[in-house]
Structure 1
Amino acid sequence: MGNTLGCKPAVIPFTYLGVPVGANMKLKKNWAPIVEKFHNKLSSWKAKNLSMGGRLTLTKAVLGSLPSFFFSLLVAPNGVIGKLEKIIRKFLWGGTEEKRKINWVAWEKVVAPKNMGGLGLGSLKAVNLSLIVKWWWRLRTEENTLWGKVIKGIHNIRNKASNYMASSSIPGVWKRIVGAGDELKKNRSQYIRNYRKEGTLRSQALTDSVLIDWTHDVPIKVNCFICRASMDRIPTNCALQKRGILTGSSRCEYCETEDENTSHALIKCPLAQNVWQWVFHWCNISAPMTGDIGEKLTFIKDWGNCSRKRSNLLAICYSTMWSIWRVRCDRIFKKLRCSPATVADNVISIVFTWIKHRRKKCHYQWTQWCINPFDYL
């Protein structure tokens, strides 16, 4: 028959349009090619050459293409989901097969939506379940489609009860799809209960830190840094000592009078306070110079009545904290010193460059920007 039709004969299992056909996809070994492709896309050499924002963007791109193609047809075993999530965690934090890096943010916060204080990566299990159940729902709502008639004919669904969706004696992809739909229906009350009760507690746990506004005016790496800083998940001396990495003193490298935590490094340190004074003087804003990182972010979110001016201030303050952190890192690793005035000048120039090239129809002029970033809004 194959020779007559001009096709090459093959044996089951085989691959058609990139999807395995005829293999038992309940076995983890049959997912090995897919896991290998996933691993190649998120290889360690790419992690070394990308920032945190770049790694997050690449991970989202891979999650949006590679797994979705398979997850829309195949129910992934929990072991495969766990292996893929392990690859993501290792890549996201810059780890390799030989060297493990610190996972600074809990996995539930990494996959949580941004409006709940997470990084917005999304859950593989939730993606798989939603894509699979979509077919179950389409069969119920699209009765006259060709593929629907084929499924109903194979499983003899016509003239059966509404809850009859597949024949128990016919194995295959559709039976597993129906099984996922039945699991969702069976545990629907549990999902709703978890969402209303436990989900509320989980959202409270995720939002213990101040919810930040992610802005397109600054690179993603800056947004990621601010998000981590709001959770107190950046490598300060106190954080490193808490994790058993730093064995010496946790004192600040600049003032050497207080322990270096997130609020001290970005807000309370004399270096940081002087930078903030320069920046707020340039903006002609009266702002509190004390407090912690949460109070500073809250002040930014509540400042003023003009959304355009608030967007400018948001980009300026995010860039200020980013610049302060970079200066502190240069002091530790490169033994470089930088005055607060120089840091403030860098903030002025870098924010202008970012906004100028990231906003559509931006008519800011450098001379006007240097005087005040709000005068012409």
Structure 2
Amino acid sequence: MGGTKLKSLSIGGRLTLIKSVLSSLPLYYMSSFKVPKGVLSKMESIRRNLFNAIYGIRRALDKSSSYARRSPWLDIVNEVRKLASKGIDLLSLVKKKVGNGDVTSFWNNVWLGDFPLKQTYPRLYFLELDKHVNVASKLRANSLISSFRRSPRSGIEEEQLLLLISNTSSVILPIFM
């Protein structure tokens, strides 16, 4: 931003710009690298001192220095609980990201639909020899039935197989993760 444009910003605009930039930098680097706790504490201290100097005040943080030790996941869990208490079930809308499929169980994890596939296709699960096969191995095999102890027979087994083939046909796994 040029010097002329910067001078046209109000004090509030300048503070908003500074806060935005300073708040974004740690998030960018922390999303790419594991940041030591000491660095987090120092960054928070610098940011706090800067804003205290701008406002001309010296006040302690409400939570003292515990801010740098807070867990983002704890914040997320607390927000999900708050939403649940208001009748919004956010977790019901969340689906597992399979990624390359190496760590997701084909039959036991919820990754396609609302239930584990062993519940959705119980007759096929009964035929499966490798009950703990991962998604990548199962989908990259010659066929979905290559690890079955026998081929599905007509009736419910064949019906479930056709549904499984249909539901997994649109799944694309990345080669590298």
TM-score by length of 2: 0.31
TM, length-normalised to structure 1: 0.17
Structure ranking higher on relative contact order (CA contacts 8 Å, 6+ apart): 2
Structure 1 or 2: more helix by fraction: 1
